[in-house]
């Protein structure tokens, strides 16, 4: 009985992993085999699906774009967000409370809702066909959670930290980058993982603001490949899906616990 129940839950767990198996096996099937044998293991391992997808189509470019969007957003959000969190938690400014409340409003605006005005805004700032067209809105939308988490983290640190620095005669900027930044590294790691997951997988905004072929991230490139180019070649689609998911899967395998902590941080923070 007990073993039966455990087996049942093991099977339920496997249904969540089945699509991963399916994606991998599909990516190694030839065009004709995909239709005849859609769910078994590939009979002949068609590794050239990957080579073809990478050489015939623009996936290396999409990959590079995704790296730039994700990296850019992480760097700008972490630097600007930590600085603001530092100011709100450790400097005496009369608007500290108000500013914290204001930034936390960012948690409740869904990004899809403002896509039309963002499209207009990006056009009027003349950043439409640059990487900033997506990096800056992503940053704006990532700041709320970053500032709140760093604020909670910084407030728990003892005041003596900077006092020592004061006595040594360093100024506030040196103190921030040399003392504070290294200390908050765990929180920064958590935030990086969160932002990576969000930006790497983001689609609704990228579909509009990263629509030009040259600036497409992987999600948009994969979508257009799926609906127009690759339609009948599931081996290619599988390989393209694997390339899109590989970085997330690798990070997930290395930092499974970290991701879990990052994703659940919001639930217990409240």
Partner 1 sequence: MNKYFSTKTSIAVFAAPALLLFTVFCVYPLLPQLWMSLHNHNGFQSLGFVGLDNYLSVMKTSSFWVSHKNTYLIVAISVLIGLPLSMVFALFIDVQTPRLRRFFKSAAMFPAILSVIVVSQIWVAFYEPNWGLFNAILRSIGLDGLTRSWLTNEKTVMISIGLTFLWQYIGLNAILLYTGIKTIPKNYYEAALIDGANAFQVSTRITIPLLQDVMKYVLILSSLGSMAFYAHVRVMTAGGPGDLSRTVIYQMYYTAFDTSQFGKGTAIAVIFILQCLVISFLIQRFVAREKVEF
Of residues 147, 127, 149, 148, the one with CA closest to residue 137: 127
The helix or strand, by DSSP H or E, that contains position 53, with its residue range, turns out to be helix 48-56
Q: Can you point out the beta strands (E) in the chain? A: none
CB 29 within 8 A of CB 238: yes
DSSP-assigned states of every residue in 192-211: HHHHHHHHHH--HHHHHHT-
Least Cβ distance, residue 176 to partner 1 (angstroms): 8
Least Cβ distance, residue 185 to partner 1 (angstroms): 19
| Contact stretch for partner 1 (CB under 8 A) within 42-50, 54-62, 183-191, 199-207 | 199-207
CA 112 – CA 141 distance, rounded (Å): 11
Near partner 1 by CB under 8 A: residue from 39, 44, 168, 228: 39
| Contact stretch for partner 1 (CB under 8 A) within 44-52, 56-64, 184-192, 196-204 | 196-204
8-37 residues in contact with partner 1 (CB under 8 A) are 9-10, 12-14, 16-17, 19-20, 22-23, 26, 35
* Cα–chain center distance at 17: 21
Q: At 170, phi and psi to the nearest 5? A: -75, 155
Binding mask 102-121 for partner 1 (x = CB under 8 A): xx-xx-xxx-xxxxxxxxxx
| Contact stretch for partner 1 (CB under 8 A) within 40-48, 50-58, 82-90, 184-192 | 82-90
Least Cβ distance, residue 258 to partner 1 (angstroms): 12
Of residues 90, 74, 94, 88, the one with CA closest to residue 175: 90
Alpha helices in 91-170 (DSSP H): 96-104, 115-124, 132-155, 160-167
CA 48 – CA 70 distance, rounded (Å): 28
Q: Is 213 among the residues that bind partner 1 (CB under 8 A)?
A: no
Interface size with partner 1, residues (CB under 8 A): 93
Q: Is 239 among the residues that bind partner 1 (CB under 8 A)?
A: no
120-179 residues in contact with partner 1 (CB under 8 A) are 120-121, 136-137, 139-141, 143-144, 147, 159, 162-163, 166, 172-173, 175-176
| Contact stretch for partner 1 (CB under 8 A) within 42-50, 57-65, 183-191, 242-250 | 242-250
Q: Is 192 among the residues that bind partner 1 (CB under 8 A)?
A: no
How many other C-beta atoms lie within 10 A of the C-beta of residue 87?
A: 19
In the complex with partner 1, the residue whose CB is nearer, 35 or 47, is 35
CB 140 within 8 A of CB 134: no
């Amino acid at each position: 009985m007990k073993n039966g129940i455990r087996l049942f839950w093991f099977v339920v767990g496997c249904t969540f992993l089945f699509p991963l198996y399916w994606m991998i096996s599909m990516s190694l099937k030839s065009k004709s085999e995909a239709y005849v044998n859609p769910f078994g293991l590939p009979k002949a391992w068609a590794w050239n699906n990957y080579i073809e997808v990478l050489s015939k189509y623009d996936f290396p470019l999409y990959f590079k774009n995704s790296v730039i969007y994700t990296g850019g957003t992480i760097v700008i959000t972490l630097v600007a967000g930590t600085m603001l969190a530092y100011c709100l938690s450790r400097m005496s400014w009369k608007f500290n409370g108000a500013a914290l409340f204001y930034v936390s409003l960012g948690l409740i605006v869904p990004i899809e809702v403002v896509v039309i005005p963002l499209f207009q805004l990006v056009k009027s700032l003349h950043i439409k066909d640059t990487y900033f067209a997506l990096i800056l809105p992503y940053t704006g939308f990532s700041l709320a959670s970053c500032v709140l988490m760093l604020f909670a983290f910084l407030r728990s640190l003892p005041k003596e930290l900077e006092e020592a620095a004061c006595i040594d005669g360093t100024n506030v900027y040196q103190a921030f980058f040399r003392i504070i930044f290294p200390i908050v590294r765990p929180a920064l790691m958590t935030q990086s993982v969160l932002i990576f997951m969000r930006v790497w997988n983001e689609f609704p905004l990228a579909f509009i603001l990263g629509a030009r072929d040259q600036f497409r991230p992987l999600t948009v490139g994969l979508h257009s490949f799926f609906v127009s180019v690759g339609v009948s070649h599931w081996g290619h689609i599988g390989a393209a899906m694997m390339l899109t998911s590989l970085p997330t899967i690798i990070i997930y395998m290395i930092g499974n616990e970290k991701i879990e902590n990052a994703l659940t941080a919001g639930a217990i923070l409240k």
